[in-house]
Amino acid sequence: MSVLHRLQRLRRRRGGWHQSPVLWVLGIACFLEVAFHASRFRVPVPPRELDTPFYTSCQEPPPTPPETPRENAAIVMLARNEEADKAARSVRSIEQRFNRWFRYPIVFLNDEPWSDEFMRILNASTSAPTFFENVPKEQWTFPSWMDKDAARASIKDQGDRGILYAGKETYHHMCRFFSGNFYNIEALKKYKWYWRLEPDVEFSCSITYDPFVEMARHKKVYGFTISLWEEKRTCPSLFREVADWKEAQGIPSTTLWKAGIDASWVPWPFRSLLSWFSHRDRDGDGWNLCHYWSNFEIADLDFFRGPKYQDLYKHLEHTGGFYFERWGDAAVHSLAVNMLAEPHQVHHFADFGYRHDWYYQCPANAPGGQLPDSKALNEAQSTWAEEIPGGVGCRCDCDGRRNRNHASYCLNKLKAPNTAHRPWSTWFLSFIF
């Protein structure tokens, strides 16, 4: 007799099938199995906050040029000649808020020769040394083994379907470049640290300490300001490729990796059927799409030059996903950092005021920590927004009563391994997204 017929007979009996001990036992077993599976991805609450701002108030800026030790680092911007005005706005902003005191070199990268006009405008925007370099042609094109016509056809199709930036061939080249070859180009070989700077960004707080020195001192490898959801349609197979590589390499899951996973609530043995869907691993568990927004990142170049990351990049490269999908460098960096770094090695620059496009982070100013008598600070920014209890910013001129203009879900998720006090909404929203 079939299971269906048995269920029908149970329903006809007095009390119905829902009173069957067998089905109750089966239901409870399924619930316990799913609960046990989900518990494997639980991120334990640490006994204390493990990633706090390096400083929570203004510091007296160092003499110029700095007499304090500096790290072997550079600020790096990828730009085009026609972006001279936008690039200059970013450079003037970081000059006013940070580099006037520290004078880290700025390396400008372009896939085309620089114009005299661009170099003139940018040199006039900073007191720091500047270097105008070119991305090697072989690193700004399709891989030699790839069918270029098929790749271009895919790019056109992605654009026709309205996938964000996916119809632009040069955008695919950029994502591929920033995901792998960027770290090993000749122009950056002599540096250990980089600060990625984009055209048309704004820093709204003064940065009066050296973030490179603090990153090295605290043994960090990656720093960020904003965390967002990735656009789903750009990278449907990326997570599966990364997860498969992780499993093949025998890399254990850190709490940082678990923070990026939404465990499936479908019971065994049906759970694995979910692996047919995008953004799922072979076991059916999903990536929550949270990533570090990589237009700002301060990171250790040696972490990305290391054999594990480079092997991962080569694996991803040979899948063709940078062109037949639109894998972004932010998503690639984020999954790699969450897989290969320990939670204490990742730092959120909560004290940095930062805007790119319309997204921003705006810390409140620290009460009593603005050093109103500092001559060096007054030359850079003599007025600032309201000081608010709990603030950590230095002379921020944005409204610290609203720290950000985007959902904080992803920030809270990715910071969870280092956070002792977590908002309940993050746990609740995990069941929705």
Residues belonging to the active site: 297
Judge whether 234 and 164 are in contact, CB under 8 Å. Answer: yes
Measured CA to CA in angstroms, residue 175 lies from 331, 396, 424 at distances of 10, 32, 35
What is the C-alpha to C-alpha distance for residues 332 and 176, in angstroms, rounded to an integer?
Answer: 10
- How many CA atoms within 13 Å lie on the side-chain side of 289? 15
| CA separation, residue 360 to residues 33, 225, 297, 357, 404 (Å) | 42, 9, 14, 8, 6
Report d(CA 424, CA 422) in Å as an integer.
Answer: 6
Residue recorded with tokens 């067998």: 22
DSSP state letters, 206-246: ---S-HHHHHHHTT--EEES-EEEPPGGG-TTHHHHHHHHH
Residue with tokens 């930036």: 165
Tell me the C-alpha distance between 27 and 35, whole Å.
12
Contact (Cβ atoms closer than 8 angstroms) between residue 309 and residue 337:
no
